[in-house]
Amino acid sequence: MFLKPDFSTLQRRTRLYRIGAGVALTAALLAGCSLVPAGKDEAPVEERIPEPLAAPAKGAASAAASIKLPAPAAAAALTASAANDALPNMLSYAERVRLMPSAELGQEAARLAGDQSGPANQLQLALVLSQLRQLPDLVRAQELLARVLGNSNDQAQPLHPLARLLAARYAEQRRVEEQLEKQTQQTREAQRKLDQTNERLEALKAIERSLTARPAASAPAPNHRNPAPAP
């Protein structure tokens, strides 16, 4: 005797099995998805931590290095500022010297002559000597300018353009002064010769006047006596 299978029971079991398998598969998928992001989140954390820590260390080292070396930069800035001010200050001094009276020029020349160690003092003394209007002083001024131009240190280089300009001007002024002095000597020599000629001429005139002014009595007197009779 055979029993008829209960299809409704089999269908229920099959449905439950499928549901259970689906639930298990879904759970497995969810577990896998939850594990993958966790791994991705942990990796960046491990990579970010050393990078920011290393970068500030390098930045701090460079900042410390820059802070430790301010002296050369400050010295260079001061040198550049002094170089920029040297030429305007010298031009102002030249204008002041140009307006000085002769007595004050002599005092200023004596003061600067005591200290000729620096190129600025040498150039100032050259400016003062050029205002004295004497050829020996002008020659000294040219010698001082040559010393300034021959100096290549940081204090002298800003003054080189002005020194070259003054050297050219003083050379022309010296040429004119020498020519004027030569003409003056020639004029004096001509005047001396003219004075000698005038003196000789006056001497000749004096001799002529003395000859024409002799008295007539100096001539022999005529004989008025009768001649003696012949024997």
Domain ranges, ordered by start, for the chain: 83-176
Q: What is the pLDDT of residue 95?
A: 94
- Residue 144, class by beta-carbon neighbours within 10 Å (0-12 exposed, 13-18 middle, 19+ buried)? buried
Per-residue pLDDT of the chain (231 residues; tens, 9 = 90+): 444 445 566 566 666 666 666 666 666 555 555 444 444 444 444 445 444 444 444 444 444 444 444 555 554 555 556 667 888 999 999 999 999 999 999 999 999 988 878 899 999 999 999 999 898 999 999 999 999 999 989 889 999 999 999 999 999 999 998 999 999 999 999 999 999 999 999 999 999 888 887 665 455 555 555 555 555
pLDDT of residue 159: 94
Q: Tell me the C-alpha distance between 20 and 12, whole Å.
A: 12
Predicted local confidence at residue 133, as pLDDT: 87
Q: Which two tokens stand for residue 227?
A: 């001649």
**Model confidence pTM above 0.85:** no
Whole-angstrom distance, CA of residue 44 vs CA of residue 57: 21
Per-residue confidence (pLDDT) for residue 58, from 0 to 100: 47
Helices (H), 99-223: 102-113, 119-130, 135-150, 160-212
